Amino acid sequence: MDMPFIGSEAVAAGQLTPHLLRTRFVSIYPGVYLPRDAQVSAGTRAEAAWLWSKRRGVLAGFSASAVHGAKWISRGRPAEILHDNRRPPPRLRTWADRIDDDEIDVVHGMRVTSPARTALDLACRYPVDEAVTAVDALARATRLKMLDVQSLSERYSGRRGMKHARRTLDLVDAGAESPRETSLRLLLVRSGFPRPQTQIPVYDEFGQLVCELDMGWRELMVGVQYEGDHHRTNPQQFNKDIRNMEIVSGLGWIVVRITSQDCAPDIVRRVGSARASRM
């Protein structure tokens, strides 16, 4: 029993005794248990919340994103579920919003909000940067179509937070491969640069793919590359990156390479200089 389960059901089925349930498992939500040494991921917490609802709720928000396969969701986040219980236990949030049948998917036997409805909920409920990062990850993990989200926003035109949601959704880009890339893209847009294209393929003179730049402006041949920790800590990746950037530079691209140590003003200055050199 590595996954969440309802304790009373396991005891009634003869899978556990009450003593074993008390001593070897821990309650994550009332009546829902996990092994004491289990790692609680966002997906695990989502499943536990669904069981707590007696399998009647609809997983929503970050919990729905986790079930749909989105990355970068903290395992410490409370689960989120559409359910009529207004007094949920700690580390669980319930909503009682309207939802139509075409906004519900069934994943691993659990009812969850569709990717489009999940995106709309996140955009309505969370600050812009947090929501854009979350919807970027959701869009990358699913076949989310922003036209579907737009259609839902029209269905719920009077919903609280819709104006905020539209601003948020306008900034979404499924090309972001990490929260850092999302933050970098938002910085560039807010600094007045034209919205960059993401995941730009660069080919050599033989038509072979050299790499995909995180973002940039193809018409200027200016790219911006975020160098995450895996680039630094993996020697093979590090050497590959060096070779690729040499080839890309030889093809006429200017690539501004960014790390977590770079401050926002310096990033803006360096990107601005690169773009200016091509204007």
pLDDT in tens, 186-245: 999 999 999 999 999 999 889 999 999 999 999 999 999 998 765 556 667 667 777 888
Residues 129 and 245 in one domain: no
Residue 185 sits in a domain whose CATH number is: 3.40.960.10
**Is 11 among the domain residues?**
no
Residues 160 and 191 in one domain: no
**Is 126 among the domain residues?**
yes
**Is 23 among the domain residues?**
no
Q: What is the mean pLDDT of the chain?
A: 94
**Is 19 among the domain residues?**
no
**Is 56 among the domain residues?**
yes
DSSP string, 128-196: HHHHHHHHHHHHHHS---HHHHHHHHHHTTTSTTHHHHHHHHTT--TT--SHHHHHHHHHHHHTTPPPP
**Is 16 among the domain residues?**
no
For strand 79-82 and strand 32-35, is the pairing parallel, antiparallel, or unpaired? unpaired
Question: 47 is in which domain, residue-wise?
Answer: 39-169
**Is 161 among the domain residues?**
yes
Q: Model pTM?
A: 0.91
The total domain count for the chain is: 2
| CA-based end-to-end distance of the chain | 62
Predicted pLDDT at 229 = 64
The per-residue pLDDT for range 102-123, each reduced to its tens digit, is 999 999 999 999 999 999 999 9
**Is 215 among the domain residues?**
yes
Residues 192 and 104 in one domain: no
Tell me which residues of the chain have a pLDDT lower than 50. none
Please give the C-alpha separations between residue 33 and each of 15, 20, 62, 64, in angstroms, as whole numbers: 13, 12, 21, 20
Contacts of residue 256, defined as CB under 8 A and 6 or more positions apart, other chains included, come to: 222, 223, 224, 225, 267, 270, 271, 274
Among residues 271, 270, 267, 258, the alpha carbon closest in space to that of 232 is found at 258
